[in-house]
Structures are given as structure tokens and as C-alpha cells.
A = this chain, B = another copy of it.
Amino acid sequence: MSTKTNPGNYFEDFRMDQQIRHATPRTVTDGDVALYTALYGVRFAFNSSEEFARTLGLPRAPLDDFLAFHMVFGKTVPDISLNAVANLGYAQGRFLTPVFPGDTLSTSSTVIGLRQNKDGKTGVVYVRSVGSNQLGETVLDYCRWVMVRKNDEDAPAPEVDLPNLPDAVAPADLFVPVNLDVREHDDTVLAGSDQLWDDYALGEKIDHVDGMTIEEAEHMIATRLYQNTAKVHFDAMLQKTSRFGRRLIYGGHIISLARSLSFNGLANAFKVVAINGGRHVAPTFAGDTIYAWSEVLAKMDVPGRSDVGALRLRTVATKEKPCWDFPVKSADGNYDAVVVLDFDYTVLLPLRG
């Protein structure tokens, strides 16, 4: 291994409280937005139209929240997950200052937990990653944990230190963009639905109906756009000898597809404010057709706001199986074989005035 190339970090390279500034700051542009629209077909008017965003008090249309997420996430890969075996979970994700074209994003991470696995060959690394814009404002803040290989199996195991990660972001911690004013959101026709916060019931399930088939070119174009360098997404030759025999699709690609599909049933859920948790239940591959359904896990007031309310949603994505019967787990408690994503997040919707 040349000293010139990046070997990534192995489990034994991480230390509690270690701080890592990640490479490659990224100015996001209208070009990124166009590609994101073209890759997922998102239709939320808040992100699609400068005019619509202005009627809600913003200076212009912000980036789709998950586009911002992927840009922030991508930078962490060379340092955190280049030697990862599995991306295990997310918690305490909060979307803060909105991201606009022209902003420059950079990311830093802190190690908040370590636990070596019993096999002595791998361990779980917990990090909190923070994405910032060129003004130093935090745009996104989230925890994730990954299983990472050891390079030297004889390296001593660190003391087990696990972070306290609540199940969900508390309503008091939800951030509503400064100047957002949804009292003017009277145009449900342009938004694509007349169903507002008031119209969703706790426990309600929504089949998002539509399906989207993924091509190799699409997921690679997306993943490179995010400057995510994980080899498993790009190198078909290397993957031939892997467990799955083919390129794996970046899990975030499925999150974005599911969010885009969710427009059909949640058109007024215009803003993601929190990622409470999430699990990539099964890998996806080119050729898979993705479907999704959602359940309303909680209806929440947003402190101090009379114009917007929050819904905590669970969106489940499947492959090769439409979601009219809301597939998720079998009687034995295991995930149904068709489920690929189980994602728990919080969105804002306008309140009926």
C-alpha cells in the first residue's frame, strides 16, 4: 500500500472523542438540483419552484433535504466507512439551516462510541457528523454507526463506550427554518394535494403506489454526485468476487427514492426536519424496482408554531413488491424478504388555518 493513497481507517484506528475533519468541501449548485430531480423525480413544490418557496418566506428554493444529507454524508466515507462491513443505523438527525445553491458544504465527525465485536475481527464505530455551510452554520447534524473491519486483529479492544441515542428527535429540538411562514400556503393545488397535517391520523398507513426501477448508471451517477467513494458501488469487477457478486446500491439512494415516491400521499410534507432512525434492511441492486409505504407514528405540535405541524413517519421501502398490503415484518418478527429500508423521520406539513 503506497503511503500516498488513502487506506481508510480500520476499527483500531478510531478513538473515543476523536474529531475528524473530512476532505473535499463542495459548493452545491443548480446543477446538483437538476440532477437530483432527474434521478429521483421529486416533485415537492417547496424545492422545485423559487416562486413557491418565496411565498413561504424563504429567499429561494432550498435543496431537497436528502440531497443535502447525501452531500454531507459523502464526505465522511473516506474516513469513516471505507473499511465498513455494514452501515447499521442512524439517530438524532436534525436538519438545521436550509441549504441553497451556492452554499459550500463541509463535514466533520466526532467518534461517540466504540464496541469491538466478539469475533475480534470487526467493531462498531458510532460517529456524530456535522455538516456546515460557508458561514459556519450547521445545516445537518446526525449520528450513525457502522461495523468496521480491523486491520490488525491483534490490536487490543477499546473499552466499550456506547452513546445514549434516544429513539427520536424530541419536538423541542425540531428546527423550523428562520422566516418560514406557511400561513401563506394556501395553494394546495400547486403543491399537489389538499391533505394537510390535520388530515393525517395517528397510525394511518399510506401506500405510495408508484414503483421505480433502478439502473446501474443511475445509482452510480447519484453516488458520485455526492462524492461518496465506497468501492462497492462502482467496481463491478471487484464485486464479482463479493458475497453478492455485483455492485451494491448506496443505501441513501433508496432513501431518496422512497422520499420521492412518498409524494403520492404526502405531497404537503414539504420539509424533513429530523431523522429519528433508519435501517438498510437488505441490499439493493440494479434492476430492482422500489416501492414504498408510510405509517404515521406520531402527530406533534411544533413549539411556538401555529402554521405547521410535524408528523413522525415510518417509510418502508420494498423491492419487487408493491406495497398495497404494507409489507414489513413476518410473524416471527423478522423483516419480510422484500423490505429494503425501514426509515423513521419527521416532516413538517401546513396546518389547516
Enumerate chain A interface residues (CB-CB to B < 8 A). 2-6, 21, 23-27, 29-35, 37-41, 43, 45, 48-52, 61, 78, 101-102, 104, 106, 134, 189-193, 195, 199-200, 204, 206-213, 215-218, 220-225, 227, 229, 231, 234-238, 247, 264-267, 287, 289, 320, 322
Contacts and interface: CB of A to CB of B under 8 A. Distances in A.
A189 B23 contact: yes
Contacts of A2: 206-207, 265
A2 B267 CA distance: 13
A5 B261 CA distance: 11
Given A33-B31, A221-B39, A235-B210, A51 B6 contact: no
A5 B208 contact: yes
A51 B25 contact: yes
A6 B30 CA distance: 29
Nearest to A60: B27
A203 to B, nearest CB: 13
Contacts of A51: 25, 27, 104, 134
A244 to B, nearest CB: 15
Contacts of A193: 4, 6, 23
B27 A48 contact: yes
20 contacts: A2-B265, A5-B207, A5-B265, A6-B264, A21-B190, A25-B48, A27-B50, A27-B51, A27-B61, A31-B34, A35-B35, A38-B221, A38-B224, A41-B223, A211-B238, A212-B235, A215-B216, A217-B217, A237-B320, A238-B289
A212 to B, nearest CB: 5
A289 B25 contact: no
